[in-house]
Every structure is written in structure tokens, then in C-alpha cells.
A and B are shown apart, each in its own frame.
Chain A
């Protein structure tokens, strides 16, 4: 049997976990959600969600992971099997094993765009915006550039035609992921996180300082302070709207990257008596710093300062991709040394992306190592080849990326978070769960969290999941296109395949 690897340092583990949590959403989704849902007043339900949902879920996932690691299981099928003595438990865990791999199939590709754009920016290859161009013209220039980069402008109804550069950068990004993962938990993931996370924070701080010192770059009546005002001026009437509370809870859920299975696997490399209370809280805090302080002070304030309040509202409404790959590079192109700021922007997004894709790939590797005794080198190569082959679905098939994201990036992670909380708190038992969370704790967790974990967090998750199904499910399921059906058939096949692998693994375990 392979000897399970361990994290070398606690600070390395915290940075790797923070790397998993900090993603593109911190810099793109949060400011848009806050501006749309009451500005400063949004922070009230947001912080309530942090304490009632975010931090408790962090502790739940860290505890399940450490508990499973004690038995040599690094993924949810084995962990659920130990928590709940029911034959179905391990099969419910398939979601936390197949889900993250399916996310990586499109996430790595998006991540590679940020690397491609960082290089384009550094070498001055991004489009130049003519003096006096309005927002419509800018959208046209950068939108066309993105379309030709990713091949959205293909004439085919089924296939996309990305540029050769986009494909080459994807291969490079996947290769880098495989290289880091092959070096192991401590030598690869931890070492990289110790470099990538401080660099990400440094780049973000430089950009925040640049944005906050923009003054009034275009219109003397509109300054960057108006941009901060757009995000922070409170609209208290929004607190009476239940959708605002739902949006805050949803943002908290997505920003911490819970429900994906990655935290479980990372935590499985802890020792039985290692602290998780303080480390889990530290991870959540670093993520919140990246989101509230840094994420809220770059894209949206800059967009208001350059394009005015009305246009910024349109930019915010046009979605995260538009903000990242169209509006922000256009803004930086107006500034002296704009190529450098553009590079810092895309490089920080790349670091946010790669630290997350490493975490999402690790569960599949851990499964092969733990359950089939496959050497890490071969497990990494096997998973890398799988990702290489099936990532082509999201690279080349129209509509497949969005479809995959709907199911594994939204539906299954919400469902999995609900599932693991119920299994850990209600089935494993609240007292045993509380004891597990507090084992080796370096801080004393207030007793009120026992009641929050037992009653409040599961109920919030049920509400989020139900409301989310009510709002989205019917609409998405009715959508049909060849690309969407290819993605759906792939997902069903992949989950069945993972189920068979779990069956074989546990048959082997039973025999031995």
C-alpha cells in the first residue's frame, strides 16, 4: 500500500486551501453581486452567511477529510463509507469524486485564457483602443478579439474554432498542472501555493493602489470614489427582498469552493491530531480578504471611473467573462504602462485559476493512489491524459462548456454540500461531528456553532438548493442543442464509469 503523503507546513496547507478557494469569482462575481444586490447593505446578509454557512461548511469539509484520511481514504466515496455504514454511502460520494474532474475539463481551458491574455498583454498584442472610442466600440474591439481567440465566431452550428495560440496555451496550462501535481502534495502543490498565493496578493494590491489613485480619468464629474460608492452605498430596502439574502448565501457558498470534494482531499493529508479549527478559519479569512478588500476594489470601481455609472451597470450586467476579458483590459489600455497592469490582472487571475485547478484534479489522483495503490506518477499521467482527451468537448463543442458548468459547477456542488452536511452532522451524529471538529483545535470554537451546524447550516443549504432548482432547473433542462446533449451524455457516462470504479475499488477492499 502507498504511504499517504502529508503537508509539510501548516502555512503551506492554509495557502493551498486558500488557493483552492480564491478563484475568478472573488475578483469578478463578488463585485457584480454586491452592486446588484443593495451595495453596502449586501454586506449584512453576506457576513451573516459567512458565519452561518461559510465557516461552518469549511469546518465540516476539513473534518470529513481528516477523518477519512485516518482510514487511508482521500476521496468522498471512502469517507462517506466510514461516516455512514450504509452500502449506498460510497455511491453518493461519486459526486465528490467525478464532480471536480468534470469541472477541471472546462476550468483548465478558461484558466488558460488568462495565461494567454497575460502573455498577449505583456508583449503588447492586445487590441489598441482608438482615442475617444465609446463603450460600444470598445466592446466591439475586445469582444471580436475574444471571439477569435476562443473561436466563438465559427460558422458551424456545433463546433468552435479556437485559435492555434489558444489551443497551444491550453496544452501548456495542462502540462504545468500535471508537472506540479506529479511532484506531490508537499513538493508540488504546497511549494507552488507558497509562491503563487503571495504573488497573487501582491499583484492584486498593486492593482488596487493603481485603481484607487485613478482620480477622474475621463469625466471630471466621475471619479473612482463614485465607483466605490456604486459598490458600497447601502440600499436598505434591498434587505426586504429575499432574493438578496439568497444571492448573499449563494455568493458565500461559491466563493469558498465548498461542495466540490477538493477540500476533503486536501484535508485527508492531515494527521489525526492536526488542528482544523484555526486552519479552516484562516483559509476562509484569506479568501474573504481577497474578495471583499481586493476583489471589490479593482474591476467595478475602475469601470465606473472610465465609463460612468450607467455604462458600469451594463458592464456588471453583462457577466464575469465580459468584465474580465473585455472591460478590464480595455480600461488598462488607456493607462500609461497599461500593458503591465493588464499583465498583472491576467496573471493574478491565472494564479487564482491554477491553484484551484490543482485542488480540483487532486481527488481523482488520490482515488487512484488510495483505492488502487497506483503510484502517484502513473496516477497523475492517467488523470492528465483523461483531462486532455475530454477537455476537447468544452474547447471545440458549442454550448458544452456552459452545460458542464451548470451541472457540475452549480447543481452538483450545491447538492453535494447538502449531502455531506447531512451525512456528517445528522447521520454520523452532531456530538461526534462536534468532537471531530474540535479535535486538536488551536482555537476554542464558541458553543453556538454546535447549534448552527446542527440546525442552521443544513436548513440554509436546503433553502439555497430548493430555490436554485425552482429558479433555474426547468429553464436549463428545456434547452437543447447538439453541444448540450453531447455534454449531458458525456456527464452521465462519466458518472456511471466512476460508479463502476468505486464498485471495483470497494470489492477489492472487501476481499483484502
Chain B
């Protein structure tokens, strides 16, 4: 695994983990049910 490989792994994982955490935070803020 090269340094470039690590950078792209962190980038790839980072993007999707950020997206999941952002969405879940918003979902729990706005409510997990329907009004």
C-alpha cells in the first residue's frame, strides 16, 4: 500500500462516512418517524 493508496482510502472512506453521519444526524434531528 503506497502513500497515494492511503490518501485515496482515507478520502473514499471519509466521503462516505461523512455523508452517512451527516444524513443520520439530520434524520434524528428532524425525526425518525412521519408526522
Binding site for B on A (CB under 8 A): 6-11, 14, 39-41, 43, 47, 225-226, 228-229, 232-234, 271, 274-275, 278-279, 281-282, 284-286, 288-289, 291-293, 296, 442-443
Binary interface profile of B, 1-35, with partner A (CB < 8 Å = 1, else 0)? Answer: 11011111101110111011011101100111110
Task: Check B19 against A278 for contact (C-beta < 8 Å).
Answer: no
Chain B residue numbers with a CB within 8 Å of A40 are 4-5, 7-9, 11-12
Chain B nearest CB from A27 CB (Å) reads: 15
Chain B residue numbers with a CB within 8 Å of A279 are 27
Query: Which one of A9, A226, A278, A292 contacts B26 once the chains associate, using CB atoms below 8 Å?
Result: A278
> Once bound together, how far apart are the Cα atoms of A40 and B3, in whole Å?
11
Task: Check B27 against A285 for contact (C-beta < 8 Å).
Answer: no
> Once bound together, how far apart are the Cα atoms of A285 and B33, in whole Å?
19
> Once bound together, how far apart are the Cα atoms of A282 and B31, in whole Å?
13
Q: Which of A6, A43, A228, A232 has the most CB of B within 10 A?
A: A232
> Once bound together, how far apart are the Cα atoms of A442 and B32, in whole Å?
12
Chain B residue numbers with a CB within 8 Å of A275 are 30
Chain B residue numbers with a CB within 8 Å of A289 are 16-17, 19-20
Query: Which one of A7, A10, A229, A442 contacts B5 once the chains associate, using CB atoms below 8 Å?
Result: A229
> Once bound together, how far apart are the Cα atoms of A274 and B30, in whole Å?
12
Task: Check B34 against A292 for contact (C-beta < 8 Å).
Answer: no
Query: Which one of A228, A278, A443 contacts B9 once the chains associate, using CB atoms below 8 Å?
Result: A228
The tally of CB-CB contacts under 8 A between chains A and B is 99
Task: Check B2 against A293 for contact (C-beta < 8 Å).
Answer: no
15 pairs, CB–CB < 8 Å, chain A vs chain B: A6-B34, A9-B34, A11-B32, A40-B11, A232-B1, A271-B34, A281-B23, A282-B24, A284-B19, A288-B15, A289-B17, A289-B20, A292-B13, A293-B12, A293-B17
Chain B nearest CB from A218 CB (Å) reads: 18
Q: Which 9 A-B pairs have the closest CB atoms?
A: A40-B8, A229-B1, A285-B19, A282-B23, A233-B5, A232-B5, A11-B32, A288-B16, A442-B30
Chain B residue numbers with a CB within 8 Å of A293 are 12-13, 16-17
Chain B residue nearest to A14 (CB atoms) is B27
Task: Check B16 against A9 for contact (C-beta < 8 Å).
Answer: no
Chain B nearest CB from A343 CB (Å) reads: 26
Chain A residue numbers with a CB within 8 Å of B23 are 278, 281-282, 285-286
Assess A233 versus B1: contact at CB under 8 Å? Given A40-B9, A281-B23, A282-B23: yes
Task: Check B8 against A228 for contact (C-beta < 8 Å).
Answer: no
Chain B nearest CB from A171 CB (Å) reads: 36
Query: Which one of A41, A274, A278, A288 contacts B27 once the chains associate, using CB atoms below 8 Å?
Result: A278
Task: Check A234 against B8 for contact (C-beta < 8 Å).
Answer: yes
> Once bound together, how far apart are the Cα atoms of A289 and B14, in whole Å?
10
Chain A residue numbers with a CB within 8 Å of B31 are 10
Chain B residue nearest to A234 (CB atoms) is B4
Chain A nearest CB from B4 CB (Å) reads: 5
If A284-B19, A286-B20, A296-B12 are given as contacts, then 19 extra A-B residue pairs at C-beta distance below 8 Å, sorted by A number, are A10-B34, A11-B33, A43-B8, A47-B12, A229-B2, A232-B6, A233-B1, A278-B23, A282-B23, A285-B16, A285-B19, A288-B20, A292-B12, A292-B15, A293-B12, A293-B16, A293-B17, A442-B27, A442-B30
Chain B nearest CB from A382 CB (Å) reads: 30
Chain B nearest CB from A201 CB (Å) reads: 11
> Once bound together, how far apart are the Cα atoms of A48 and B22, in whole Å?
19
Task: Check A233 against B2 for contact (C-beta < 8 Å).
Answer: yes
> Once bound together, how far apart are the Cα atoms of A275 and B27, in whole Å?
10
Chain A nearest CB from B26 CB (Å) reads: 5
> Once bound together, how far apart are the Cα atoms of A9 and B27, in whole Å?
11
Chain B residue numbers with a CB within 8 Å of A286 are 20, 23
Task: Check B30 against A228 for contact (C-beta < 8 Å).
Answer: no
Chain A nearest CB from B10 CB (Å) reads: 9
Task: Check A274 against B20 for contact (C-beta < 8 Å).
Answer: no
Chain A nearest CB from B30 CB (Å) reads: 4
> Once bound together, how far apart are the Cα atoms of A39 and B22, in whole Å?
27
Assess A225 versus B27: contact at CB under 8 Å? Given A10-B34, A286-B20: no
Chain A nearest CB from B14 CB (Å) reads: 10
Chain A residue nearest to B4 (CB atoms) is A234
Assess A47 versus B34: contact at CB under 8 Å? Given A225-B1, A234-B4: no
Chain B residue numbers with a CB within 8 Å of A288 are 15-16, 19-20
Chain A nearest CB from B20 CB (Å) reads: 5
Chain A residue nearest to B21 (CB atoms) is A285
Chain B nearest CB from A1 CB (Å) reads: 22
Chain B residue numbers with a CB within 8 Å of A47 are 12, 15
Chain A residue nearest to B27 (CB atoms) is A282
Chain A residue nearest to B31 (CB atoms) is A10
Task: Check B26 against A274 for contact (C-beta < 8 Å).
Answer: no
Chain B nearest CB from A312 CB (Å) reads: 14
Chain B residue numbers with a CB within 8 Å of A232 are 1, 5-6, 8-9, 12
Chain A residue numbers with a CB within 8 Å of B8 are 39-41, 43, 232-234
